[in-house]
Amino acid sequence: MPGLHPGGKFAVRPPSRRFAASGPARAGSPEDLPFGPPTGGIRRPVDRRRQLTRIGLVVGAMGVVVGLLALPFWAAAGLFAKASADHFLELPSNLITPPLPERSRILAADGSEIAVLRGAENRQTVKGDEIPKIMREAIVAIEDARFYEHNGVDPQGVLRAAARNSEAGTTTQGGSTLTQQYVKNVLLQDVTTEEERDAVAGDSLDRKLRELRYAVAIEQRFTKDEILERYLNIAYFGDGAYGVGTAALHYFGIPISQVSLEQAALLAGLVQSPSRYDPVNHPDAARDRRNMVLTRMADENYISRTQADAARQIPIEVIRDQPRAQDSCVASSAPFFCDYVRAQLRASPALGATAEERERRIYEGGLTIQTTLNPQVQNAAQTAVDSTIPRDSRVSATEVVIQPGTGAILGMAVNRTYGTDVAANQTVVPLPTLDKPDGPPFQPGSTFKTFTLAAALEQGYGVRTAYYSPACYETPAFPLERRTGECRKGYQNADPAEAGIYDMGKATWDSVNTYFIQLEEEVGVPAVVEMATRLGVSPDHLKDIPSTKGDVTIGGEYVTPMDMAVAYSTLAAGGIRCDPRFASSIVDSAGQALDVGVTPKCERVLSQGVADTVTSILAGVLTNGTGGNARFNHPAAGKTGTNDGFSSAWFVGYTPQIAAAVAVGDPNGAETHPLRNVRIGRQDWAHVYGGDLPAMIFGQSMRGALAGQPVQPLPAADPATARGTKGGRLMNPGSVPAAPTPTLPNPQDLLPGAGGGQGTGQIPGLLLPGQQQPQSGAATGQGGQTGRPVRPTGQQQGSGDQGR
């Protein structure tokens, strides 16, 4: 009941018979952190004589305690013989109070919660000023009414508890003080075996004396309010909820600061026996226990009898259907990103020298992980992959989004439900970054041509570098032997009719394989591999590639969407590569910052001129080439990619603000389950190109991701780079057939920015007398190219017909 919130937050009652002054509150210093070093406050001066006298009284009272607990006579006699004041003072008093096991939280860039990583103890500690006065009064009333009067041990409280328990015929109030209970819970944190647990929780005299000694020392070390805060954070409230802050969220779905009187009483009643008074499974017992707490609060004058009576009439309402996910990422709003964050933490030496240490830190270290994930971008990417290819399809769609210039991961989406139910098409396979032991599942196809393009421009080949590019091209530099097909020893284009003279821009827009094989011959396979790794593709995915492996330029290796998103983001940033970064800050429960790759690590790896010239060429893929389906309301650059036999399809692209890679294929086996005769939603696809579904996903996701963002223009080509120092001409004039050749580039379509105009002027050696300018068999820029031949049965993987 909202009206039953007497008092404010963590206010200490005026000094009375219940409340001794506990010192002024201190804030803003390390000592105020939960479970930090010894704190100040008004401490009682240590008077050795008075202390010995008090200890003597404690020891005498322990005899009564032992009798009330019905210990055997010989044990009581042993206690009196052993527990002299001198021996008591010789017992260890320095109780080590390490930080409590506490769940870690993964937050999005805007502070919203993505996931909670919890271990055996689900705990979220709260500061003292977050715990309302009514909650503190409830726990004191039922567990230790003289808490603010005693010094850690309370013989009078033991006697009173025994009398009340005898009168009630059951245990309604414990004999241990809250300080003693706190000590016992701290000791239980360190046990690792059942034997150790029994020793800490048992009734041995040594255990009780040690607990008393620690309690007296704790009272000298911390103020009463600090002890109560620590107790409420360490106590177990049942159903996996450790600490009062977690309990409030668990049972009521609200912060502890918002609990009402009857809710506080319910929580206070749980600590004595969480299972017996479980409000979900034993609501009647929970109600009776809550009402008993309300009665005790009225007895102690914390609330009036009228307030207690009114609160008793309120039914118990708690959250009954609690999530029971074993994997912390299952319930995440971005589960594959959550899994990526967790994997990065597990691999970070900053969290521990061993895997066990790091695991404990992740799940019990109370980490607050502020990530780079942008909710708007993530939602746009997830919506795009799910709406384009439904989650029940055998075909997966994966998108990774990176911020150029910082490496911040803005989004990571897969059209799959994260989970282990394979029959329901769930998966926990990290498709955005899958590496070891199986390696990435998909080849990138013609998206890799971009690296050949960049390597050629860097070596001085201008954008007017042209080749006659036949439908099938054979070269001894890249020997190839396939068992069947018309182009048995060569590389072929997507369309048999696709042959003619192409310059660098037109060949990129139409994704002409045989052009790029010849360009790769010119620059060398090692230069293409080096460029790919320099821009951001993991070197682990491009190992031991021989210089004769010509299919590298058309995507013959296996890489991840993360690889390609990072590499293209380098181009978007004008040649500055930044390592992918998942977090902007990570702090532990004590507020200590951890260095787990939160600082951007960027370096220039490519000249601005080369990067901008590549961008200006890739812009034509969307406006004049195979990537028409990727167009949206911002200028963008990108490249389509389709693999042998339609094993997978890609689109990778960017604007100045954002870069993204989209991979589509069957993760159960891309080569054995190709993208042929696929039904996606209500539409049948005979085959899927990179300009089809991947381009559609890119365009839709970018439209949503950049909604409300300013439109930024793409850079023009650098004139010197575009002009080049070599090439810039028809490189193989002797290969041009005598008959009229198809596909001569239109001078009006030459690259904007190259040579200082819209392609005016003639390319030397390119236009031959009497030759016409026929239409190309390439795509019209609307995506969904047609006419690509089906790979013959038995054709080898990497045989050179990757394309668009």
Strand ranges for 637-705 from DSSP E: 637-642, 648-654, 659-665, 676-680, 683-687
How does residue 92 score in pLDDT terms, banded at 50, 70 and 90? low
Asked whether 718 and 413 are in contact (CB, 8 A), the reply is no
**Range 372-576+600-804: architecture per CATH:** 3-Layer(aba) Sandwich (3.40)
Query: Residues with Cβ < 8 Å from 485, sequence gap 6 or more?
Result: 792, 795
**Lowest model confidence (mean pLDDT) among 246-250, 470-474, 765-769:** 765-769
Comparing 71-75, 290-294, 615-619, which segment has the lowest mean pLDDT?
71-75
What's the pLDDT band for 301 if we cut at 50, 70, 90? very high
Angle between the 513-523 and 525-535 helix axes, to the nearest 10 degrees? Answer: 100
For residue 488, name the pLDDT band (cuts at 50, 70, 90). Answer: confident
Average pLDDT, integer, range 400-413: 98
Q: What is the reported pLDDT for 786?
A: 32
Residue 16 has pLDDT above 70, yes or no: no
Using pLDDT thresholds of 50, 70 and 90, give the confidence band for residue 174: low
Task: Say yes or no to pLDDT of 800 above 70.
Answer: no
CA angle, 652 as apex, 649 and 657 as ends, to 5°?
Answer: 155
Is 431 in contact with 441 (CB distance < 8 Å)?
yes
pLDDT band at 728 (very low <50, low <70, confident <90, very high): confident
- pTM for this structure? 0.76
Comparing 192-206, 683-697, 735-749, the range with the smallest average pLDDT is: 735-749
Region of residue 487 (left: phi > 0; alpha: psi -120 to 50; beta: else): beta
Residue extent(s) of CATH 1.10.3810.10 domains in the chain: 37-96+124-312
What gap in Å lies between CA 151 and CA 129, rounded to an integer? Answer: 23
What percent of the chain stands above pLDDT 90? 61
**pLDDT > 80? residue 255:** yes
pLDDT at 2 exceeding the cut of 70: no
In this prediction, residue 85 has a pLDDT band, given cuts at 50, 70 and 90, of low
pLDDT tens digits, 560-599: 999 999 999 999 999 999 999 999 999 998 889 998 988 8
Model confidence at 652: pLDDT above 80: yes
**Distance (Å, whole) CA 443 – CA 465:** 27
Region 106-121 average pLDDT: 92
Residue range(s) in the chain whose domain bears CATH number 3.40.710.10: 372-576+600-804
pLDDT on residue 207 = 74
* pLDDT of res. 681: 81
Residue type, 769: P
pLDDT exceeds cutoff 60 at 17: no
* Cβ pair 572, 537 in contact under 8 A: no
Quick one: pLDDT at residue 149?
92
- pLDDT at residue 48 greater than cutoff 80: no
Cβ neighbours for 629, distance < 8 A, ≥ 6 positions apart: 691, 692, 695, 696, 699, 782, 783, 784
Mean pLDDT score, 75-99: 57
Write 251-254 long-range contacts (CB < 8 A, 24+).
251/279, 251/318, 251/319, 252/317, 252/318, 252/319, 253/319
Cα separation, 155 vs 437, in Å, equals 63
Given this model, what pLDDT does residue 474 score?
Answer: 93
d(CA 584, CA 209): 48
Exposure of 587 in the CB half-sphere (CA atoms within 13 A): 8
Say if residue 688's pLDDT is above 80: yes
Per-residue pLDDT at 484 exceeds 90: no
Residue of higher predicted confidence among 139 and 5: 139
Pairing outcome for strands 396-402 and 409-414 = antiparallel
> So what CATH class is 37-96+124-312?
mainly alpha
Q: Cα–Cα distance between 457 and 607 in angstroms, integer?
A: 10
- At 406, list the tokens: 């910082």
Say if residue 740's pLDDT is above 80. Answer: no
| pLDDT above 70 as % of the chain | 76
Q: b/e map of 633-652 (b: 16 or more CB within 10 Å)? A: ebbbbbbbbbbbbbbbbbbb
pLDDT band at 803 (very low <50, low <70, confident <90, very high): low
Read off the tokens for 196: 């150790």
The pLDDT value given to residue 661: 98
pLDDT of residue 769: 34
pLDDT tens profile 505-551: 999 999 999 999 999 999 999 999 999 999 999 999 999 999 999 99
pLDDT tens digits, one per residue of 131-157: 999 999 999 999 999 999 998 888 776
Residues in the chain: 804
Q: Which two tokens stand for residue 471?
A: 């439908």
Q: What is the pLDDT of residue 91?
A: 57
Q: What is the average pLDDT score of the chain?
A: 82
Count Cβ atoms within 10 A of the Cβ of residue 283 and give its class: 0-12 exposed, 13-18 middle, 19 or more buried.
middle
Segment 402-431 mean pLDDT? 95
Lowest mean pLDDT among 105-119, 275-289, 320-334, 782-796: 782-796
Tens of pLDDT, residue by residue over 256-271, are: 999 999 999 999 999 9
Q: What is the pLDDT of residue 543?
A: 92
Whole-number pLDDT of residue 762: 30
- pLDDT on residue 778: 34
pLDDT of residue 716: 96
The CA distance from 252 to 244, in Å, is 12
Q: Is the pLDDT of residue 323 over 80?
A: no
Tell me what pLDDT residue 272 has.
94
Nearest partner of 368 among 120, 600, 114, 721, judged by Cα: 114
99: its two tokens: 């930080």
Instruction: Report the half-sphere exposure of 440 (CA within 13 A, side-chain side).
Output: 26
**pLDDT given for residue 491 in this prediction:** 93
pLDDT digits over 195-235, tens only? 877 777 776 677 778 888 888 999 999 999 999 999 999 99
Q: Is 675 in contact with 665 (CB distance < 8 Å)?
A: yes
Residue 670 corresponds to which tokens in the numbers above?
Answer: 């891309």
pLDDT at residue 89, as a whole number: 54
